[in-house]
Amino acid sequence: MTKILLFALLWLMPVAMAVAMPIGMTTAQSLNVRSAPSGEVVDSLPMGTVAGVLDMQGDWLKVMYFEGGDTSRSREGWIHGQYFRLTSASGVGGSSCETEYRSGAEVCLNIIDTNLDCREDFSSDTYRSCDVTAEYELTTDYRGQSSLGVDVSCDAEITHHAINGRRRSSSESDWFSHSLYSQSSDWNSMNLSFRFNTFDEIRRVQLDSVTCRIESVQLW
């Protein structure tokens, strides 16, 4: 089952990137797919089904998924957002280059992957915290004998929906320092944490955007 879901995700990712489609997974044991919000049930999805979000109407999401994991059989329908966890952002930024002025060396950053992981409260089915992970790689054409000091910062924005219908946005940022040597590369996984108050009663969280950038490059 895990191999089927991974295969479906690999096929869905290029489509999602082309049309800025957020991607997530179902969290209910069996989730009804409807013809419209609160409409007729036309299908059901097992837990962990990968789908892309095409549209939103209140608590309802219009999704695209592969029937039975078969990538030749894509389907669309409406599901309730309470049982769907977005794991990748529709707005991902992080493909840029900066030049170190003394050596003329270029350093480039590319985001490899993003992920949203939320944990439920012990006493309810609401969320108490979420972590956004941004994986990125740095590469350089530097050919000298010294090293380059590279500072990178990442920002993440999420929207969280409460049981009472209230919707709010939150953002977090962090930074990390790298050392790059002659024609080398470096990889990092930056974690951005979001914490919710118990009385907020958050039932759905979506990852809106992740941006990573090179803040400075210095020759050591």
Express each pLDDT in 2-58 by its tens digit. 444 444 444 454 444 444 467 788 888 899 999 999 999 999 998 888 888 888 787
Check residue 118 and give its pLDDT: 87
Check residue 1 and give its pLDDT: 43
Choose between 131 and 6: higher pLDDT. Answer: 131
pTM: 0.64
At position 36, the amino acid (one-letter code) is: A
Question: What are the structure tokens assigned to 207, written together?
Answer: 């990852």
- CB within 8 Å of 123: residues ≥ 6 apart: none
Check residue 56 and give its pLDDT: 79
**Contact predicate 78/35, CB 8 Å:** yes
Express each pLDDT in 139-196 by its tens digit. 999 988 899 999 999 999 999 988 888 889 999 999 999 999 988 889 999 999 999 9
Range with the lowest mean pLDDT among 57-66, 99-108, 190-199? 57-66
Rounded CA-CA distance 21/15 in Å is 8
Closest CA to 98 of 214, 219, 218: 214
CA distances from 36 to 77, 92, 203 (A): 7, 29, 22
